[in-house]
Structures are given as structure tokens and as C-alpha cells.
Structure 1
Amino acid sequence: MTDTELVLANGRILDGCGNPWFWGDLAICNGRIKTVASAGTLKGVKVIDVDGRFVTPGFFDIHTHSDLSILVNRLAESAVHQGITTQVIGNCGMSPAPVNERYLDEIRHDWGRISTAPEVTWEWRSFAQYLEVLQSGGLAINLASLVGHGALRIAVMGYEERNPNSAEMRRMQGYLSKAIEAGAFGLSTGLVYPPGCFADTDEIIALCEVVAQYGGFYASHIRGERETILEAVAEAIRIGREAGVPVQISHNAPKYGAPYDATANLALVEEARRQGLDVTVDNDVHTDLGPTLMDALPQSILGRAVADIVSLLKDSNSRKSIRDEILRDSHPAFGPAGLLKHGRWDRITIYEAPRSRSVVGKTIEAIASDREEDPFDVYFDLIVEMGEKVSAIFDYIDEKNIRILLQHPAVMIASDGQVLAPHGFLNDPPPYCPCSYGEFPGVLERYVRDEPVLSLEEAIRKMTSFPAQRLGVMDRGVLRPGAWADIVIFDLDRIHDRATNLYPHTYPFQNYPHRFPEGIDHVFVNGIHVIENGEHSSSLPGKVLKHPLYRTSM
């Protein structure tokens, strides 16, 4: 047999499609898989003896927010170290393009601190220009993008809390068409965040009708994942039905305050699929989130400057109005806000408070007890004192629902994280984002090896071929001849997530600041060795993936 560039020999190969592993060799040539054969049969210019470790497709992370952080850390360190070779960005209604010069300040505000990083130049205006900026600087992993509904709205009407008029609707549809023609795979919404939460269902249907014309799909952070979760899932399904698009329901674990467990929302998905609607779900396995305290305030004020929000909280009448709006929840807020609504101050633990270090590691409940003050006032006072610099771990998901979702065949695994690194701008201060460092190793460690919920074969399917299938990217996420050589080699016995902190928390936190996982030994992206024996090679072989219709039209 003719020698090839590289052979991975004597591995336990999992093809990504749910089939049992088998002993085999795998040959790579020109960035693609050339051959998969019985162990010990292939020869190459270079041979890596896998020595019985598992060889799988690279992990395909369908829900991330690396749109800007990848510009800061093109090595994609936190992602590739956990075996991720492809990320989907543009989720939850947020994408950095298109940009209307008139509303540049608004979209930068939407992205928060990351928008101020020196590497985030905002030199682009169109979606095509943004994708070119991504590719031209080099990438360690592949990226596929959705266009965010929030970005479309901001480009046309800023943060205005109203329905678009007919001319504005046509402009949003025009921006959307150009984005998909540039390579976007579809549309995402974030219907608990401003400005997306101000849109009605008909607005989303009208935009998804454009997506349908291009064969794209609709991904949604639905309109409430707590008390209104069933109505919100039903709305997403209705949008798919009426617009004629496949639907991806994002991170769909019920959050604190939901009246039912995950079997109820999954029943709606099952019924839709019985009716012939292509509806699927993704979810991560972390029960917590680490936002700023400010992020859980009502959407009606989140578009304002930090100083303006602080001024409102200093005024007793405005403070009362904000508290009342949190309790009313008239625009269902994002998941962690449910802890405020239901008074679960024991599940909000401060981890970053630069001007008040004595509160770090304490819950809002404990701080309120120490100060003999109302927990709402303590929460608001911390924001007044430190603005957007005070952050907490919100433990807002019942782990039982994670297990229910993991076992359902229509649910794929995602991180809901972003590219991070343990140095530089992205680590100053260290963010609390365990999914960005340990999502996929954590699944393998906790839910496959130690407390089995999934077989290894099914877990790998949910991490690889299933999300690739959702995007219509059929030459990734599988180990077969002709597919791109995005590959992970890991030792299941040694896999260890060093980022997750299970509830209830102790302080100092066990895995914060986060560290890279153990047991992910080799990662190849488009046939290039990016992680070699656990170390980053500094290679940048990643590609900006584009919608299949874009590829066939070129």
C-alpha cells in the first residue's frame, strides 16, 4: 500500500454514528481521511501508535458564543484542549454582524466587555466582511455561523421596544439574505434578551421565511425557560411549521421556576417530529452560570449605560419599580433571573467582587443575614457599589433535567461556552465559565464513565455526527474515507474535567480559576496536529465553514 502522510495506528475507533468501537488504523492525507482499516495494516510517512486509546471525530459544538473571543485567542485554547474542532457561533440572537454605523455603539454594548478588546477592531460592517476577518487572521478550529436576530434588529432599529414597520422589516430581511448568501447557516434568536424579547412571533416567522428560501435552519433561545417554557417551545415549533424551516431549540433544560421537568418540553418535540417537523434540541451539562449581577435585571433597562442603571438603583422609587418588574417577569427573563423572582438567594454565590473581597464565596442569602438587610437590597447595593464588575455563580438548573435531556435521542450536546484562555485579556479577571473548559470531558467523565447515563457510542454521536447533520455538513463529524480529518484521541480512564464546580459550593472553589482537562491527548483539525500529547502546537488550520448552498453556488 502507498504510504500516506500520517497513520493513527492501533486505536479503538468510534465512527461518530453510534456504532460500537472497533480496533483499527486510520490514514490521513491532504487534510482528509484517506482510509480506515483493520489495526496494524496501514503504513504512513509518520505513524502514531494510539495504543488502544479512543479515536473519534472532533467534537462539533453547535452552541457557542466565541464570535469575538476567537479574535482575541485564535489558538482557541479552551476549546481545542477539550477536543472541540468545530464551533457554531452567532447563537442566542447575537452575532457581531451586520453592523449599521448609526448603531455601532448599541451592538458593541450588546457584546459587553469583549467588544473592547484590542483585537476586536469592528472594522467590518457586512456579514461577509466579518467572516473574512475571522478567516484572514487564522483559526485553530473551524467556525460555522448563524446570523443573530438581535443584530438584525439593532442594525435597523437599535433597542426600540416596538414592532418594526414594513420598511424596517424589509431591511431586516435584506440583511438576513445577504448574511446567508455570505455563508451563514441560518438565523438565531434570543427571545429573553433585548432587543429580541421585544419581537412578536410574526416578526420571527417573516424572517424565517427568508431562511427557508436558502435551506437554512432556525435556532432559538426560546421566550422563557422557566414558568413559560412549554408555551415558548410551542412558539418555536410554530415558527418552524409556518415558515417551513428546521428548528434547533437551544440549551433547553428547564430553569428554576419551571413547573415541569424536561419530559414535558421533550414531549412537545416528540409530537412535532411525529408530525414530520424537523425539531431537535441541544443542551449543556452545567447547572450553573456565572454572569454579572446586572445581567439578571429587567430587559427594559439592560440597553442603558452602566452609570444610568446605577443611578436608577440609587433612587428608592426606581429601585422599587425594578424589583416589581423582576417579580412580574412580564418579558420572561433569562434563566438565572428566576432565582431572584423566587427568592432563592441561597443559590447565588459571589465569585468576583473587586471592591468588596469579603463577600466572595458567600451567597446573597448569607450576605443579607450578615448585614441584617433585605436580599433584594443587598443585591442592588452590590451593583451600585461595583456596577458590572460584580459577578456570581447562579445555580439555576436541577441536575435531574440534565440527565433526562442527555438520554433523549433528539438532544445533542453543546457547551454554550466561548473560546477562553488562562492568560491575557480573556482571563482578566478570570471568568466563571466551566463549560468553556470542561464541557465535553465532563460528559465523558461524569455521564459515561463514572455515573453512566449514556453509552460512549451515543455520547460521541451527540457530540459529532448529530450536530454536523443539523448544519448539513456531511463531511465532518464522522470517521470515514473522504471526510475532513477532524479527530480527537483520548484516554477514557484518564479523562478529567478541571473546570466544573458542583453545587453546593465550598470556598475556595475547587475548579476556579478553570484549568484545561486531562486525558485529551491529541486533536487534529483538517488533518493538522493542533494538540500533540496534550500541548498546543500553535497551528492555525481551521476554516470558516459556509452554508452548503453557498458552496455549490461558487
Structure 2
Amino acid sequence: MRQRTLIRNATIYDGTGGRPFFGDVLIGGGLIQKIGRFLHEEDCTVVDGSGKILTPGFINCHSHSELQPFYNPRMLQVIGQGITTELVGQDGLSVAPIDDAHAAELTENMICLCGKAKRDFWWRSHREYMQLAEEANPSCRFVGLLGSGTIRMNVMGSENRPATGDEIRKMCELIETGMEEGARGMSFGLIYPPSSYASTEEMIEVCKAVAKHDGIIMVHTRNEMDLLLESFEEMVRVMKESGVRMEISHLKSLGPENWGKVTKILERMEELQREGYDIGFDQYPWNAGSTGLKATVPGWAYSGGVDAFEARLADKESYEKVYKETAEILHKRGGGARVQVASVPESSEDFSWMPGLRMNEIAERLGMDEVAAVLYVLSKTRSSVLCIYHSISEEDIQAVMRSPYHVVCTDGIVGSVPHPRAYSTYPRFLGHYVRDLGIMPLETAVNHITGEPARRLRLWDRGLIREGLSADLVLIDYDRVMETNSYIDPIRLPVGICKVWVKGALRYEEGMQL
């Protein structure tokens, strides 16, 4: 069996952001062995790259693929769009570390982000999870963050209160261990309990442990709507006082009343960069987001976990308070007509008819108002419903994308009617925005999905086409590359991603079927 591959006559975009060049690339032993013109090697599989571009493998800076290696190791929805590295552990919820006492709670808490596991998480440390994921031989490579909420859960469960000094010390010890085991940093999901229960002062202290190891924090801020700017400034304070590097997760303004506010954040980032801070953001190129239906409910309602939330709904006075605040959040997100159910787990009632419908349609069918319907569905599903939120401005998307501090992510969550970003974010970015709209030069775009994410994550073995680096490569027909799916029909692979290699092994060829 031939162990080496020679890719000939490709236009090479090397990931640095520099101009492309024409040449051949020889890969073998998992590495890029040679780059040149008119390479002639014996005993090779030869791939003709004429008329195509060759790039480093794409590095997805925001993923929810934690369980995919165990239940779907082919991962065609990932590798089929050119992604060769997935960063997991986002939004303050990582699958590790976890102790015996909280494994069941964490497993349930993560259903809306990474799907339902067939049993409680069966690893305990970050290193153990990463080893098990690698042994499952998924199509792409995995790196991880430590979730701030998961760290907090290990120490104080889902309690909504300030952490004591001793508790913060224990969190820092867990973070130190995780970083030593290879975590790239820590995530915050400040709309998701228990991550959302942390004070600014607590975040500053735990981030010092991340900064000690040159890690990065990736932050879903407390508010992406009316308090977007204030929420951003909270994290600027955390960055400055802890010394940590920072990336804002999926930068956007949610709801028509808030469109345009992201431009002020872009201006602020320019100031911070001039002051010497390493700060940036990621973005998915779609005008809708996706997260759990529970995001429409105030975070305090989940203090103590899902059981405590359901108990509050059973109490008339508590229900009225939850109802009132949920109504406010739902309104700011644009109302039920902008909230589309993507997937519903098994529940005490048959809700199999819901995926694909909007919450206003669901409310009408249930004979309830929108807010009552939200709370009713959550109460019957252990709060594990996944939704698509149609509430982002196209003008904002393009403004954010043009920033030099931009990188791309999928934020992909696989469900029965998932967000199309889970299957075709990178082809949409390259085809629609870069080729068709001319948002940025192609060499800049390639840097935003390869070399720059590698730099932020300190992945020095990948992200560039260089001799001696990992042979994570994507061969693309740039004239054709594009998504083929939609919000209505999301489970489709893109076109134009011709071949994908991961550590020198061919993992995807166009035409493979889901």
C-alpha cells in the first residue's frame, strides 16, 4: 500500500495570508515532506490539483462535537466542509473534567449543546476524554477548552451564589491540571447556568490560572441584545485584570432593536489592539443562531438544576416571575416567530411534530400564548430542546466579517432539523462571501480559517502549508465551492470540497454520502 501522496499542479494558499503560489506538495508519515515545482517521487499516490486550490485544513474555533467520535466517527458533516480540527468545550460547558457526584447532572445539562449520550459521561479528566475521543478514530482532530461552568459544577454544583475564596482556589487547581493535560484555555457561557452564576471578580481570578499557561478564553457574553456593549466591557475588564488572551464567541447583535451595535465593539477592539491586547472573535456566516430553548428563560430560574427549575414552574408565585422575565427575553430575541425548534428529545408527551416549526406556530397548536408554550415545552423535555433563532442582521454579518480580528466557526449542533451551519459553514464563507461578494481577498480568508486560528490556539503543528508540519490539507474547486443546504433542508453536504487529508490520511472525497 502506498503511504505517500503527491499533490501536483495546485494553486497553494499556505495559510499565512500571503499571495498564493503554484506547486506540488508531497505528504507522508502524517507530515508535509516536500513543497516545490515538478516533484518526481516513486511509489506515491498522485493527485492532480490542476485548476484547484490547496489550503491547510480548516480549524473550527467553536464546535459542539464532543460526542460525535463515539456515535458518528465518520463525521462527514465536519470533514465534508474541510474542517480538520474541532475545538470543543465551548459556552462554559465542557464534558471534562467531571467527578462521580456530578457526572449525571453534566450529561443532562449538555444535551441541548452536544446531544444525548447513551449513558452518563464515562471519563473524568480532560486527558482521559481526549484519549478516548482519539481512540474512536474520528475523521478530524480534536482539541479542547475547559468549560467554566463545568469547572464550577465540580466545586459547587449548580448553586447560584458567589464562590468563596476556597472554592475559587479549588477551581484554579482544576484549571491548572486541565491546562497541563493539554487544554487550550477556558470557555465562558454567560447565558448558560452554572457558568452564568460567576461574578466578574470570580472570572478574573480563574482566568489568571489560564493566563499562567498562555491559554485563551472564549466567551459567550452575558448579553448579545440590549446589554451587548456592557457585557463586552465586562470581559474587557476580565482580560485586562487577569492578563489572559481573549476571543469573543460568535460576535453578533441579536434582535432588530440591537442591529448595528457590533460596529461599536469592532471600534473598541481596534483600540484594545493598539494598546497591546490580544483580542479577537469568531463568527458563523449566517443570519440565525442556534442554542437551547432554555436561553429564553432567566438564568436564575435554573439555580439548583433542572429539577429546581421545574419546581419553580409548579409554584404559582415563582411561575409568574419566570413568565414575566421570559416574556421580556423572548421579545428581545424577536418573538416566537423568530424561534424555530430544531430538535426535541424523548419526553413525557409526543412532541415529534415540533421540529421545523416556529414557537408562534407551536403555541397556536398547543392553545397557549408564546411564553406559556415555551415554559410548557421546557417542563416536559427536561429543558433539552434545541432551537434556531432568526435574529441577526446581514449588514452586521458583513461588517463583522471584514474585521482583521475575525475567524470563522460553525458553532454546529447536530439535531433532527439542525442549523445548516453544522454542515456547510466554510463552503458558504468561501463561496458566497469571499468569491461572490468579495468581502476579502482569498488569501486573507484562508488565513482566517487556518493560520490565525492555529496561532490563537497555539497549535504550532498545523494551520500552515510548511515542510515538517502536519499534513492536514484541503483540495478545493474554488469556482464551485458552496453550500447546498438551507434552514428548511439542512442535512446536505456542500459542493467543491474535493479532498480532505488529516495527518496525511485521505478522510474525505467529494461524492461521499451521509
* Fold shared by both chains (TM-score > 0.5): yes
Whole-angstrom CA distance in 2 between matches of 1:215 and 1:292? 31
Is 2:333 the partner of 1:347? no
CA distance in 2 between counterparts of 1:209 and 1:378 reads: 42
Measured after TM superposition, the shift of residue 72 of structure 1 is: 1.9
Residue 398 (structure 2) pairs with residue 407 (structure 1): no
1:137-148 maps to which residues of 2 (within 5 A)? 137-148=136-147
SS in structure 1 at match of 2:258:
coil
Contact 1:100 1:156 in 2 (8 A): no
Paired residue secondary structure (1:397):
coil
Give unmatched runs, 5+ long, in structure 1.
329-337, 421-426, 502-508, 539-554
CA distance in structure 2 between the aligned counterparts of 1:383 and 1:206, rounded to whole angstroms: 34
Supply the distance in 2 between the matched residues of 1:362 and 1:115 (Cα, whole angstroms): 20
Measured in 2, the distance between the counterparts of 1:137 and 1:387 equals: 29
Q: Quick check: 1:412–1:466 contact (8 Å CA) kept in 2?
A: yes
| Alignment map for 1:137-286 (pairs within 5 Å) | 137-256=136-255, 257-258=257-258, 260-286=260-286
2:472–2:501 CA contact under 8 A, matched in 1: yes
TM-score, length-normalised on structure 1? 0.84
Q: Are residue 485 (structure 1) and residue 471 (structure 2) matched?
A: yes
Alpha-carbon contact 2:287-2:390 (below 8 Å) kept: yes
When the two structures are aligned, how many residues end up with a matched partner?
506
Equivalences for 1:298-377 in 2 at 5 Å? 298-302=298-302, 309=309, 312-313=312-313, 317-327=317-327, 338-341=329-332, 344-350=335-341, 355=350, 362-365=357-360, 374-377=369-372
Deviation at 1:34, TM superposition (A): 1.7
Q: Secondary structure at the match of 2:131?
A: helix
Provide closer, same or farther for how the CA distance between residues 455 and 167 of structure 1 changes in structure 2, counting only shifts above 3 A: same
The residue aligned with 2:492 is 515
CA–CA distance in 2 between the matches of 1:112 and 1:371? Answer: 24
Per-residue Cα deviation, 1:88-128 (whole angstroms, up to 9, x for no partner): 1111111111112222222122212657533x662322222
TM-score (norm 2): 0.90
Structure 1 residues 391-402: aligned runs within 5 Å: 392-402=387-397
Q: Output one character per residue of 1:19-75: Cα deviation in whole Å (capped at 9) or x when no partner.
A: 23222111112211122213x444352211112111111101111122223332222
Which of the numbers 40, 43, 57 marks the counterpart of 2:41?
Answer: 43
Identify the residue that residue 462 of structure 1 maps to in structure 2: 448
Conserved in 2, the CA contact under 8 Å of 1:465 and 1:478?
yes
User: What SS class does the counterpart of residue 34 from structure 1 fall into?
Assistant: strand
How far did 1:489 drift? 0.6
Letter in 2 for 1:495: V
1:357 Cα offset (Å): 6.8
**Matched residue, 1:541:** none
Cα distance in 2, alignment partners of residues 369 and 137 from structure 1: 44
Of the structure 1 ranges 158-167 and 305-314, higher mean CA displacement relative to structure 2 is found in 305-314
Partner amino acid for 2:277?
L
Separation in structure 2 between the aligned mates of residue 134 and residue 274 of structure 1, nearest angstrom: 40
Task: Classify 1:261/1:382 alpha carbon distance in 2 versus 1 (closer, same or farther; 3 Å).
Answer: same
Residue-by-residue CA offset, 1:360-394 (whole Å, 9 max, x unaligned):
65544456678886332344444456665765432
CA deviation after TM superposition for structure 1 residue 17, in Å = 1.4
Amino acid at match of 1:451: L
Task: Answer whether contact 2:104 2:121 (CA < 8 A) is retained.
Answer: no
Q: Distance in 1 between matches of 2:406 and 2:450?
A: 12
Q: Which amino acid in 2 is paired with 1:126?
A: S
1:498 Cα offset (Å): 2.6
Alignment correspondent of 1:494: 480
Which runs of no fewer than 5 residues in structure 2 stay unpaired?
Answer: none
Give CA-to-partner distance per residue, 1:243-276, whole Å, 9 cap, x none.
1121111111122243643211111111111111
Find 1:531's aligned residue among 497, 508, 513. 508
- 8 Å Cα contact 1:16/1:464 also seen in 2: yes
- 1:26 aligned counterpart, secondary structure: strand
Q: CA deviation at 1:303?
A: 5.6
CA distance in 1, matches of 2:360, 2:121: 41
315-324 vs 222-231, which moves further: 315-324
CA RMSD of aligned residues (A): 2.8
Distance in 2, Cα, partners of 1:532 & 1:147: 33
- Name the SS for the 1:319 alignment partner: helix
Taking the aligned partners of 1:445 and 1:391, their CA distance within structure 2 comes to: 28
Instruction: Tell me which moved more, 316-325 or 181-190.
Output: 316-325
Q: What is the CA distance between 1:313 and its match in structure 2? A: 4.4
Paired residues of 1:5 and 1:46 also in contact (CA < 8 A): yes
3-state SS of the aligned residue for 2:27? strand
In the other structure, the counterpart of 1:551 is none
User: Could you tell me which amino acid in structure 1 is paired with residue 389 of structure 2?
Assistant: F
> Do the aligned partners of 1:326 and 1:341 also contact (CA within 8 Å) in 2?
no
Equivalent in the alignment of 2:56: 57
| Residues 1:96 and 1:400: Cα distance change in structure 2 (over 3 Å) | same
Distance 1:391 1:210, change over 3 A: closer
Q: 1:436 aligns with which of 422, 425, 438?
A: 422
Q: Which residue of 2 aligns with 1:78?
A: 77
Q: Where do residues 375-386 of structure 1 align in structure 2 (5 Å cutoff)?
A: 375-383=370-378
Residues 489-535 of structure 1: per-residue CA shift (max 9 Å, x gap) = 1112222313333xxxxxxx2x23x1111211100001111113443
- 8 Å Cα contact 1:27-1:42 kept in structure 2: no
The 3 A distance-change label for structure 1 pair 303 and 84 is farther
SS of alignment partner, residue 535 of structure 1: coil
Which is worse superposed, 216-225 or 345-354?
Answer: 345-354
Quote how far apart the aligned CAs of 1:434 are.
Answer: 1.6
